[in-house]
Chain A
């Protein structure tokens, strides 16, 4: 970029146009750029266009604030003061609410763990009975299996609720995670800062769960014998496939849900994950799309927002031209 003593090339000149327009270049840089602009018609034209754009945007006049806003704001402030007292009392009230919310989450986690314990005893007692009953037919096992499947589902949900409560505590303010661009189809999506190991473990579980699903999905095992049922440990949630399972399994790690949705959205694309960050309950991914399924080059960056929560979905994306 430092080309004061030599002739400046067009790439360098184009990079300097913006700071030049804003009068941020030192005299040497500005002089070198002016020389290049005088000599290069294309860069000269680009600079003229940039100046024209800036002048046009700066000329946009202010919009007058509509009448009545002051009164509207006064009423809104009065309403909000009635709802929550201002000053120290408000701070105390907010602190009390925060403590109360935290306590509720702790109690719900404890209750969930207690429920898991009870359900575990119930499930194991039912399985033991089934396995020692030699008169059980395949149909009999099928009768028990849906019930145990329901119990296991309940267990899943209880575990998921406990972990989701913990995950909710991590909400907001998570730092942006930058990735080194990795050539090839899809850099690995990893967990949040300070939670890389558990998130990566979740990814592994999801991956192995997909593999398990292909071998023997739970719906098929529902009709299998008790012996085959034993192949599935209903407290090992990785036995359940990521795809097609209810969101309760995915709630184990909200980030994994969003990662999975992103992978689905970008299935077939050759892309690199540049960075990701959590903001206001949603995960924002900056992705460089290298090429699509057909092999067409794109080399463009997009920003994809995946909302978490009970109905996660990809709901926002932007695109802009490449560098």
Chain B
């Protein structure tokens, strides 16, 4: 870690807010985009980001330098987002896990193709479709798709952020991609009918 960064960390630990602002300057945008991909709307993402940085500020003493500082920031951001999502009402379990048909043909519900927050930026139609599928993934698959395929973080960084072994990360990415591909193909098949 650069000496300047350590200096800023020490100053921030002693309550120097300007040093803290300088410290987070380089990782603020990445953390914001991670929060945005998790929360999927600007207001919630801003709340998550603010809460993350407050936690980072208050817990600077717990940063031991065994990872890069920005990786540690991303880890706190991801955990804060996941905590907020868990508390969100819309994730409450319905009475039935599946939507059942008369003949027991259980279908997964796919998201409606309504304009979403990603329309704030210009992206391909395919990317928009995929993001809606990503929203429907289980949490541990969503994690790795956001961090690897959207944010392009390395396997090592993801391992630190998710506090999982490299082997687990590899396996999870493999399954998540398979799941996402199947989900996307099913959605396409549904549209084409």
Residues of A participating in the B interface, judged by any CB pair closer than 8 Å: 14-15, 17-19, 21-22, 24, 46, 49-50, 52-54, 56-63, 65-66, 69-70, 72-74, 76-78, 80-81, 84, 86-87, 90-91, 265, 280, 282, 294, 296, 298, 302-305, 314-321, 323
Contacts and interface: CB of A to CB of B under 8 A. Distances in A.
A282 B91 CA distance: 14
B160 interface: no
20 contacts: A18-B170, A18-B174, A24-B170, A50-B177, A50-B181, A56-B126, A57-B131, A72-B46, A73-B21, A73-B50, A74-B17, A84-B58, A86-B14, A87-B15, A304-B93, A315-B93, A316-B91, A319-B97, A319-B138, A320-B141
B182 interface: yes
A58 B148 CA distance: 9
Given A62-B33, A63-B120, A321 B179 contact: yes
Contact of B46 (A57, A60, A69, A87): A69
Interface of B: 13-15, 17, 20-21, 28-29, 32-33, 36, 42, 46, 49-50, 53-54, 57-58, 61, 83, 86, 91-93, 97-98, 104, 106, 108, 118, 120-124, 126-127, 130-131, 134, 137-141, 145, 148-150, 152, 155, 170, 173-175, 177-185
Contacts of A86: 14-15, 57-58
A61 B29 CA distance: 12
Contacts of B175: 323
B53 A314 contact: no
Given A18-B174, A69-B50, 18 more contacts: A21-B177, A49-B184, A53-B177, A53-B181, A57-B131, A58-B150, A58-B152, A59-B127, A60-B131, A62-B33, A63-B36, A66-B42, A66-B46, A76-B50, A86-B14, A265-B93, A303-B139, A321-B182
A111 to B, nearest CB: 33
Q: Is the interface of B mostly helix, strand, loop or mixed?
A: helix
The 4 closest A-B pairs by CB, nearest first: A318-B138, A86-B15, A18-B174, A57-B149
Contacts of B57: 77, 80, 86
Given A65-B28, A317-B93, A49 B185 contact: yes
Contact of A314 (B32, B93, B98): B93
A63 B120 CA distance: 8
B15 A53 contact: no
B83 A62 contact: no
Most B Cβ at <10 Å: residue of A19, A60, A61, A86: A60
A323 B171 CA distance: 12
Contacts of B86: 280, 282, 305, 316
A54 B179 CA distance: 13
A76 B169 CA distance: 35
B107 to A, nearest CB: 11
Contacts of B180: 53
A296 B104 contact: yes
A305 B92 CA distance: 10
Contacts of A50: 177, 181
A318 B85 CA distance: 13
Nearest to B85: A316
Contacts of B130: 53, 56-57
B127 A90 contact: no
Contact of B121 (A52, A60, A74): A60
Contacts of A81: 15, 17
A62 B97 CA distance: 35
